[in-house]
Amino acid sequence: MKDPELLYLVGGVVAVLLLASLVTRLLIRKSGETPVLVNLRQRVNAWWWMMLIFSSSMALGRGGVFGFYALLSFLALREFITLSPTPRGDHRTLTWVFFLILPLHYLFAWAPWYGMFLIWIPVYAFVFIPIRSALAGDTDRFLERTSRIQWGVLTCVYFLSHLPMLLYLPIPGYEGQNAKLLFFVVLVTQISDVMQYVFGKLFGKTKIAPKVSPSKTREGLLYGGAAATLIGTGLWWATPFTPLAAAAMSALLVAAGFFGGLVMSAVKRSLGAKDWGRGIPGHGGVLDRLDSLLFAGPVFFHITGYYFGTHMASSHAQPAWMKEALRLWMGP
Amino acid sequence: MSSSLLAFLVRLATGVRLLHDLPEDGKRRIYFANHSSHLDFMVIWAALPARQRAWTRPVAAAEYWEKGPLRRWLSSRVFNAVLIPRDLARMRHDDPMGTMLAALEEGSDLIVFPEGTRSESGALGPFKPGLHHLASKRPDLVLVPVFLENLSRILPKGELLPLPLMGQAVFGPPLAGPADGESKAAFLDRARDAVLQLSRGQLTPHSDEGS
């Protein structure tokens, strides 16, 4: 992580946050502590903390990054399941999900055992979840309950874990620099969120889906998305992309981020809530902040891999130490 | 020290927030809440500011908490529980009301669950008369209704491992004691309604006797 370009990225974000804090303070001095400004201050302060934790996880290396995303998945899934009314019959299933399926998924991701990372949740976990619930004997709304848990695990754990997986993507000529790629994805997606919100507040007229998310407007998406794409393009030097490819990938992040936020908002509202939680002051829950990254992560990961023609399955097969550990445990 | 740590861990695991401003007016308080989980009293206890926590004692079933060294240690050392027998024969001879009044006399606040047992369904059962006895013997008591959200999902009756879901302890405004001429049943209904109201429709009353 001694990459000077990574430090430039962190420094840039710190500078923007400093500016945001300064502007907020000046606005509050001018107009007093109005609810909007207090919320703004809370949001900016939360950004400082999120930025600090995100960057220090990277400073801790791969273990730190995977540990950080495992924790985020845990907190996100916690919010998801808390809002979904799971009855008594799901208790044991959920115990397995939280305490075994999630940690093992991140173990396979960190190892890295790419094949297992890909199928552990869509195959093994999704086979196990309905079996365990069926054994509990409650048939009331069985399909709905099972789908709910599976969707929660898919988005909060499987999709989210593609972000740290970017560290392993073998890109010719970019070896050892993948942390910047992860930074790029998170930065562009989050900036796109902020820009869409700001431009939506300034120029927003046409609501895209007022019932799902009243703050998402066509103007906000167009202007905010364009601004985020411009910023992403301007960061091409930190990525393995040409400026043109960086622009296309930024636009992809904007689109995937937008739809991720839209879909998670629809899920949230179908569960009868306005915020996922109250963990991050001013923002809501962890999922309110992560929603746009859920779709952006896996889509970006696979398209980037395809673009550079990488073969994760052969370059990251089951690691020898894991094979050895399993052999010791199960016998030859 | 160890109790502050435990309270912090309980808040971390259940998502319950620490209360900040409880008036210290020297009045004795009774917190009464819906009951669906072993975590219930721990959650109320952990939500209280550390000073109040030191003199707040849960009222719990003696039969359960006297079994085994771990439960005995937890109930006597950590939570300093006021143990009340559930068994009728023992109840006659132990005088549970007297034990609770004595604890109040010594300057303790109490956490009680007037349903008397953990609800299986999550619905709110009828209240036992104990709360009425205490409130009429000690009209100076501050009766605080508490609604515990999601605890029945975090650790339902009969499960060993808690789920890491987010719960909440909602403390309501104090309930007035029994008014002149108010029957015991009317007072208990009023107390139960106070908890129901705090739940904003999340708790449903169930009328038949809970087990």
Q: Where does residue A235 rank: exposed (0-12), middle (13-18), buried (19+ CB within 10 A)?
A: buried
**Tens digits of residue pLDDT in B109-152:** 999 999 988 887 778 989 998 899 999 999 999 999 999 999 98
The ipTM, to two decimals, is: 0.84
Q: Is B164 on the interface with A (CB under 8 A)?
A: yes
By Cβ distance, the residue of B15, B150, B161 closest to A95 is: B161
Q: What is the mean pLDDT of chain B?
A: 87
Q: How far apart are the first and last CA of chain B?
A: 38
Domains held by chain A: number:
3
Judged by CB atoms within 8 Å, which residues 271-290 of A form the interface with B?
277
Q: Where does residue A317 rank: exposed (0-12), middle (13-18), buried (19+ CB within 10 A)?
A: middle
Kindly determine whether residue B164 and residue A86, on different chains, have CB atoms separated by under 8 Å: no
**Tens digits of residue pLDDT in A79-137:** 999 998 888 889 999 999 999 999 999 999 999 999 999 999 999 999 999 999 999 98
- Would you say residue B105 lies in a domain? yes
By Cβ distance, the residue of A79, A91, A277 closest to B163 is: A91
Query: Does the structure show a pLDDT above 80 at B207?
Result: no
Nearest to A258 by CA among A230, A298, A300, A224: A224
Q: Quote the CA–CA distance of B93 and B81 in Å, as a whole number.
A: 19
Residue of chain A whose Cα is closest to the Cα of B156: A88
pLDDT bin (cut points 50, 70, 90) of residue B211 is very low
pLDDT at A156: 97
Q: Which residues of B touch A98 (CB under 8 A)?
A: 163-164
Q: Quote the CA–CA distance of B145 and B29 in Å, as a whole number.
A: 10
- Using DSSP's 3-state secondary structure scheme, residue A279 falls into coil
Q: Of the candidates A17, A44, A59, which is a domain's last residue?
A: A59
Judged by CB atoms within 8 Å, which residues 177-206 of B form the interface with A?
none
Torsion over CA: B48, B54, B60, B66 (sign): positive
Kindly determine whether residue B166 and residue A98, on different chains, have CB atoms separated by under 8 Å: no
- Would you say residue A146 lies in a domain? yes
Q: Is A86 on the interface with B (CB under 8 A)?
A: yes
- Would you say residue B204 lies in a domain? no
Q: Quote the CA–CA distance of A317 and A61 in Å, as a whole number.
A: 21
- Would you say residue B16 lies in a domain? no
A100 token code pair: 């075994």
pLDDT bin (cut points 50, 70, 90) of residue B209 is very low
Nearest to A3 by CA among A229, A181, A234: A181
- Residue A266 half-sphere exposure toward CB, CA atoms < 13 A: 8
Name which residue leads in pLDDT, B24 or A24: A24
Is the CB of residue A152 less than 8 Å from the CB of residue A80? yes
Q: Quote the CA–CA distance of B68 and A94 in Å, as a whole number.
A: 29
- Greatest CA separation for chain A: 74
Residues A104 and A197 in one domain: no
Cβ–Cβ pairs < 8 A, chains A and B: 26
Q: Of the candidates A21, A39, A59, which is a domain's last residue?
A: A59
- Residue B73 half-sphere exposure toward CB, CA atoms < 13 A: 4
Mutation site for B-interface testing, chosen from A88, A93, A145 by largest number of B Cβ within 10 Å: A88
Residues A330 and A284 in one domain: no
**B99 phi and psi, to 5 degrees?**
-65, -45
Residues A208 and A108 in one domain: no
Length of chain B: 211
Residue B67 is given by DSSP the state S
Q: Where does residue A266 rank: exposed (0-12), middle (13-18), buried (19+ CB within 10 A)?
A: middle
Residues 6+ apart with CB under 8 A from B132: B178, B184, B187, B188
Q: Quote the CA–CA distance of A53 and A32 in Å, as a whole number.
A: 30
- Write the single-letter amino acid at A325: A
Residue of chain B whose Cα is closest to the Cα of A279: B15
Residues A201 and A243 in one domain: yes
Containing structural domain, residue B62? 2-9+27-198
Is the CB of residue B18 less than 8 Å from the CB of residue B11? yes
Q: Is A94 on the interface with B (CB under 8 A)?
A: yes
What average pLDDT does range B34-42 have in this prediction? 90
Containing structural domain, residue A260? 180-306
B194 token code pair: 């106070």
Kindly determine whether residue A91 and residue B159, on different chains, have CB atoms separated by under 8 Å: yes
Judged by CB atoms within 8 Å, which residues 15-74 of B form the interface with A?
15
**B127 phi and psi, to 5 degrees?**
-85, 140
Q: How far apart are the first and last CA of chain A?
A: 39
- Would you say residue A175 lies in a domain? no
Q: Is B150 on the interface with A (CB under 8 A)?
A: yes
**Tens digits of residue pLDDT in A227-271:** 999 999 999 999 999 999 999 999 999 999 999 999 999 999 998
Residues A87 and A72 in one domain: yes
**B143 phi and psi, to 5 degrees?**
-100, 110
**Tens digits of residue pLDDT in B88-114:** 777 777 788 888 999 999 999 999 999
**Tens digits of residue pLDDT in B66-86:** 888 988 988 888 888 999 887
- Would you say residue A48 lies in a domain? yes
**Tens digits of residue pLDDT in A138-177:** 898 999 999 999 999 999 999 999 999 999 999 999 988 9
- Would you say residue A153 lies in a domain? yes
Residues A76 and A38 in one domain: no
| CA dist A114 → A162, A187, A247, A329 (Å) | 11, 25, 28, 22
Q: What is the mean pLDDT of chain A?
A: 92
- Residue B190 half-sphere exposure toward CB, CA atoms < 13 A: 17
pLDDT at B85: 84
pLDDT at B210: 42
Kindly determine whether residue A82 and residue B159, on different chains, have CB atoms separated by under 8 Å: no
Q: Quote the CA–CA distance of A143 and A80 in Å, as a whole number.
A: 17
Residues A37 and A104 in one domain: no
User: Residue B123 maps to which CATH number?
Assistant: 3.40.1130.10
Neighbours of A107 (CB within 10 A): 17
Query: Does the structure show a pLDDT above 70 at A1?
Result: no
* B80: closest CA of chain A, how far (Å): 30
By Cβ distance, the residue of A78, A92, A99 closest to B165 is: A78
B210 token code pair: 């809970």
What average pLDDT does range A15-30 have in this prediction? 93
Kindly determine whether residue B163 and residue A95, on different chains, have CB atoms separated by under 8 Å: yes
Residues A315 and A301 in one domain: no
Residues A231 and A295 in one domain: yes
Q: Of the candidates A43, A59, A75, which is a domain's last residue?
A: A59
Q: Is B159 on the interface with A (CB under 8 A)?
A: yes
Domains held by chain B: number:
1
In sequence order, the β-bridge partners of residue B169 are B148
Q: Order of strands, edge to edge, in the sheet holding B82-84?
A: B82-84, B56-61, B109-112, B29-33, B142-149, B168-171
